Amino acid sequence: MVANRLVDIFELMVRQEGDLAHGVSLCSVAAEITELSGAGITLSSTGDQKTPWCTSNRVAQELMDLEIMLGEGPGDEASRSGVANQELNLMEPESSRWMMYSPEAAATGARAVFGFPVRIGAARFGALSLFRDEPGPLSETQTSDAYLMASVIGRAILTMQAGAPGDALAGELDGQSTLDFSVHQAAGMLSVQASLSVRDALVALRAHAFATKTAPSVLAQRVVDREVRFDPESGAWRDDMDKNDC
Amino acid sequence: MARESLLIATLVELADNLVDHYDVIDVLTVLTDRCVEAVDVDAAGVMLASPGGELQFVASSSESMRVLELFQIQANEGPCVDCFRDGKAIVNYSLSEADGRWPLFTPRALDQGFRSVHSLPMRLRGRTIGALNLFRTTQGPLEVDDVVVVQGLADVATIAILQHRSSLDAHTLNEQLSNALNSRIVIEQAKGIISQATSSDMDKAFARLRAYARNHNEGLTEVATRIVEGSLHPGSLNHPTRSASRNTES
């Protein structure tokens, strides 16, 4: 267990110099860090709609197209169920859950596929799909790296949807922000104040933090302390330091 | 009352919880509560490592413990951090600003009234997945029996996270850890919703959530998820039965 694996991921991302908004660098880093053949990321929005975001190579793109077209596969299942899944040998699938996907996926040259949900608490952001051109399970390190990567992707999507510049992700990863509970509590509070889903509230909170040049955890703590709130009447944020009746 | 009776009651309660679709956070919260009752400590908490190796708070017996656990994570120092990093138990460590071992953590802990700390690694097949932390407001060593007991409870906590899977491969272990950590986030999101909707603080929001889960025989995470997804209205938590709310308010 390497505690600074995040640093490795970040260094890889810097080297990729990709555009965050297109996610390509994230897909390449996901494939590289897990030492697998390729990766793809789908975004899920409200409802059950899934949008392909990025893939790391041609086969990954073909696999992604299959998932979107057929509505089944590892990424689809991960984002729907919120649970990771795998098919260790597409040539001889263990179950018949992906009747259409498995043979088509095998035809692209992929042999094993893995799906990891991209989520922050109960907020679902999409899924990370990984594949390898040989059958078999992931090693312990590969598995923990895949989970870590899924969490990095969650933070990246949040940063992107909050309209933050691409380089803001560095601070995001550095700040261990998903471990900061005040952010999640504040997102819950904001979702009630602004009648948003918790997912959208997380994005809105992040956007406001960037707009006001405040650290997300600092803004979150002020929301929890009821110093800052979203006012639905005016549709604006309010800073009421004086009001303290709760 | 004899500690043995409390211990047996604790083990029975945990065993009772470890059936079917139990909730990891629920079981760990019960475990930290019972640690305080069965062993001579004043606060208990559990931290788990994320797949990236970052420690995360998952359960505690009290708010002051929760604050200190989170502080250790932020400051990246403290008994739990050392215990996790070295995979070795820290037992009967008397807090003193003079020894300089944890310059940031120690004054904070002393300030909260704690005088000695213990941290037991949660280990599985050579891998340390987290730590059980026990803080006392008095100095002086734990009895030898107590040390055995708390390591036993740390082992129970480890088993709880593994969710009674018989075949435990790397994939499954990472999945269980990842799910346990994510569960805690779901609960924090739900606490925020309840807190705002019912004008209560986070502790009361958690008590409401816990009381509802108890009364309806549902897992904490399950109830929290329904609240976040909007299928359960936070107002529905307003009327826990009296006995249940008394049990869970601390």
Average pLDDT per block of 10 residues along chain B, 250 residues long = 73 73 85 85 90 85 83 87 91 83 92 91 86 88 82 83 64 83 94 95 92 91 95 79 42
A146 and A54, same structural domain?
yes
Give the pLDDT mean for A52-59. Answer: 90
A17 occurs within a structural domain: yes
pLDDT value for B163: 65
Task: Tell me if B191 sits within 8 A of B184, measured CB to CB.
Answer: no
Tell me which residue of A138, A88, A146 sits closest to A118, measured CA to CA.
Answer: A146
Interface mutation target, options A192, A218, A222, A245, chain B, most CBs of B under 10 Å? A192
Q: Hey, how many other C-beta atoms are within 10 angstroms of the C-beta on A42?
A: 26
Position with higher pLDDT, A27 vs B16: A27
Within an 8 Å CB–CB cutoff, is residue B224 touching chain A? yes
What is the C-alpha to C-alpha distance for residues B123 and B106, in angstroms, rounded to an integer? Answer: 26
What is the C-alpha to C-alpha distance for residues B135 and B143, in angstroms, rounded to an integer? Answer: 14
What is the C-alpha to C-alpha distance for residues A236 and B234, in angstroms, rounded to an integer? Answer: 24
Q: What is the per-residue pLDDT across A91-119, written as a single tens digit (0 to 9) for each?
A: 998 878 899 999 999 999 999 999 999 99
Tell the CATH topology of B179-248. Answer: Arc Repressor Mutant, subunit A (1.10.10)
Rounded to 5 degrees, what are φ and ψ at A227? -95, -30
In chain A, residues with a C-beta closer than 8 Å to the C-beta of B185 are 120-122, 178, 181, 184
A92 and A155, same structural domain?
yes
What is the C-alpha to C-alpha distance for residues B72 and B74, in angstroms, rounded to an integer? Answer: 5
Within an 8 Å CB–CB cutoff, is residue B77 touching chain A? no
Name the segment(s) of chain B with CATH classification 1.10.10. 179-248
What mean pLDDT, rounded, does chain A reach? 86
The residue count of chain B comes to 250
Question: Nearest-CA residue of chain B relative to A146?
Answer: B51
Within an 8 Å CB–CB cutoff, is residue B189 touching chain A? yes
Task: Tell me if B58 sits within 8 A of B31, measured CB to CB.
Answer: no
Is residue A240 over pLDDT 80?
no
Within an 8 Å CB–CB cutoff, is residue A236 touching chain B? no
- Put simply, the answer to whether A5 touches B169 (Cβ < 8 Å) is no
Chain A: give the shortest CA distance to residue B183, in Å. 6
Is residue A57 over pLDDT 70?
yes
Tell me which residue of A180, A71, A24, A45 sits closest to A126, measured CA to CA.
Answer: A45
Chain A: give the shortest CA distance to residue B247, in Å. 24
Question: Nearest-CA residue of chain B relative to A137?
Answer: B171
Tell me which residue of A63, A58, A114 sits closest to A88, measured CA to CA.
Answer: A114
Position with higher pLDDT, A49 vs A149: A149
In chain B, residues with a C-beta closer than 8 Å to the C-beta of A2 are 53
Nearest by CB to A122, from B191, B197, B228: name it.
B228
A141 and A110, same structural domain?
yes
A86 and A38, same structural domain?
yes
A145 and A91, same structural domain?
yes
A186 occurs within a structural domain: yes
What is the C-alpha to C-alpha distance for residues B217 and B22, in angstroms, rounded to an integer? Answer: 10
Say what the alpha-carbon torsion angle A159, A161, A165, A170 is, to the nearest 10 degrees.
10
CATH architecture of B3-164: 2-Layer Sandwich (3.30)
Name the segment(s) of chain B with CATH classification 3.30.450.40. 3-164
Rounded to 5 degrees, what are φ and ψ at A115? -120, 130
A199 and A145, same structural domain?
no
Within an 8 Å CB–CB cutoff, is residue B76 touching chain A? no
Residue numbers of the domain that contains A197:
180-239
Within an 8 Å CB–CB cutoff, is residue B241 touching chain A? no
Chain A: give the shortest CA distance to residue B225, in Å. 6
User: Which of B 134-153 lie inside 8 A of A, CB atoms?
Assistant: none
Q: What is the DSSP letter of B240?
A: -
In which band, very low, low, confident or very high, does the pLDDT at A126 lie, cut at 50, 70 and 90? very high
Tell me which residue of A205, A207, A211 sits closest to A224, measured CA to CA.
Answer: A205
What is the C-alpha to C-alpha distance for residues A64 and A52, in angstroms, rounded to an integer? Answer: 7
Q: Hey, how many other C-beta atoms are within 10 angstroms of the C-beta on B195?
A: 26
A206 and A142, same structural domain?
no
Give the pLDDT mean for A203-219. Answer: 90
Nearest by CB to A186, from B170, B174, B192: name it.
B192
- Put simply, the answer to whether A188 touches B202 (Cβ < 8 Å) is no
Q: Structurally, how many domains does chain A consist of? A: 2
In chain A, residues with a C-beta closer than 8 Å to the C-beta of B202 are 185, 224
Nearest by CB to B189, from A4, A146, A188: name it.
A188
In total, the C-beta contacts within 8 angstroms joining chain A to chain B are 127
Indicate which CATH number applies to the domain containing A195: 1.10.10
Rounded to 5 degrees, what are φ and ψ at A211? -65, -35
How deeply is B100 buried, as exposed, middle or buried, from its count of CB atoms within 10 A (0-12, 13-18, 19+)? exposed
A173 occurs within a structural domain: no
- Put simply, the answer to whether A137 touches B51 (Cβ < 8 Å) is no
DSSP A152-215: HHHHHHHHHHTT--TTHHHHHHHTTGGG-HHHHHHHHHHHHHTT--HHHHHHHHHHHHHHTT--
The two structure tokens encoding residue B226:
């329904």
ipTM for the whole complex: 0.88
The residue count of chain A comes to 246
**For residue A1, how far is the Cα from the chain centroid?**
22
A172 occurs within a structural domain: no
B48: Cβ contacts below 8 Å, ≥ 6 apart: B55, B56, B58, B122, B129, B130, B161, B177, B180, B181
Picking from A137, A164, A191, the residue at the C-terminal end of a domain is A164
What is the C-alpha to C-alpha distance for residues B18 and B93, in angstroms, rounded to an integer? Answer: 32
